[in-house]
Amino acid sequence: MKDQNSHFNQLVEEVRRSPLRPEVTTEEVPAPLRLAPYSLAIAAEVLEGEDDLSNGRLVLLYDPEFVETWQGNIRLVTFTKARIEPDLAQDPMLTQVGWTWLLDCLRYRDVEALALSGTVTRTSSESFGDLDNHPLPGTIEIRASWTVTNNLGLHVASWADLLCQAAGLQPLPPGMARIKKTH
């Protein structure tokens, strides 16, 4: 049991040291208790000033035993949500685009997501009456889970990259870092 706890603590440290973009702020939040013997949850948001451009949650699940449905024993469960412009919310291809964002973020960090699965949801509202001239923003929600075989920190960074992508921030070229505004 001590070795298992020690291994989980190493995983937690790897999550905490993940190379995230400066636009992403994170905090640890209560983790679900029944999904695996060990778990850690992180809430994150991408802010521009006071505006929340996107937010999400990442849950690290660890089971010392091999889990058949996971095809391993370390799994990430993620949720990403962002506001989108009204015309984009109406686009029937948006869900496929959202899934492609996830795949691109994993590819960018050169990590393998084993047993990858998930859903993409788009929502839109329509205004009527006196509000008819005020288009309402929509949302995109990307839920995904996958098994991690190595480089946990880069998997977490891929999810944070997805938060930025959903927020409308352009991917950074390899080797380039964005400087965070201080005012």
Instruction: For residue 151, report the phi and psi dihedrals to the nearest 5 degrees.
Output: 55, 50
The answer on pLDDT for 69 being more than 70 is yes
Question: Of the given ranges (58-62, 122-126, 162-166), which has the lowest mean pLDDT?
Answer: 122-126
Query: pLDDT digits over 15-28, tens only?
Result: 999 999 889 999 99
Q: Report if residue 138 sits inside a domain.
A: yes
Is residue 128 within 8 A of residue 82, CB to CB? The reply is no
Is residue 4 within 8 A of residue 74, CB to CB? The reply is no
Tokens 């960090």, residue?
Answer: 109
Report the candidate in 81, 83, 147 with the shortest Cα–Cα distance to residue 119. Answer: 81
Quick one: angle between helices 152-166 and 94-108, nearest 10? 140
pLDDT band at 183 (very low <50, low <70, confident <90, very high): very low
Longest Cα–Cα distance in the chain: 64
Q: Report if residue 26 sits inside a domain.
A: yes
Q: What is the pTM of this model?
A: 0.88
Query: Please, what sign has the CA dihedral across residues 4, 74, 11, 45?
Result: negative
Beta pairing partners, 74: 62
Q: Report if residue 123 sits inside a domain.
A: yes
Return the pLDDT at 178.
54
Average pLDDT estimate for 168-176: 71
Q: How far apart are CA 35 and CA 141, in angstroms?
A: 21
Q: Report if residue 178 sits inside a domain.
A: no
Is residue 109 within 8 A of residue 179, CB to CB? The reply is no
Q: Report if residue 61 sits inside a domain.
A: yes
Q: How far apart are CA 53 and CA 99, in angstroms?
A: 18
Query: pLDDT digits over 111-147, tens only?
Result: 999 999 999 999 877 777 776 676 677 899 999 999 9
Domain count, the chain: 1
Q: How far apart are CA 85 and CA 113, in angstroms?
A: 30
Q: Report if residue 174 sits inside a domain.
A: no
Q: Report if residue 64 sits inside a domain.
A: yes
Report the candidate in 125, 139, 38 with the shortest Cα–Cα distance to residue 80. Answer: 139
Per this entry, what is the length of the chain? 183
Q: Report if residue 42 sits inside a domain.
A: yes
DSSP 175: T
- Find the domain containing 134 and state its range: 2-166
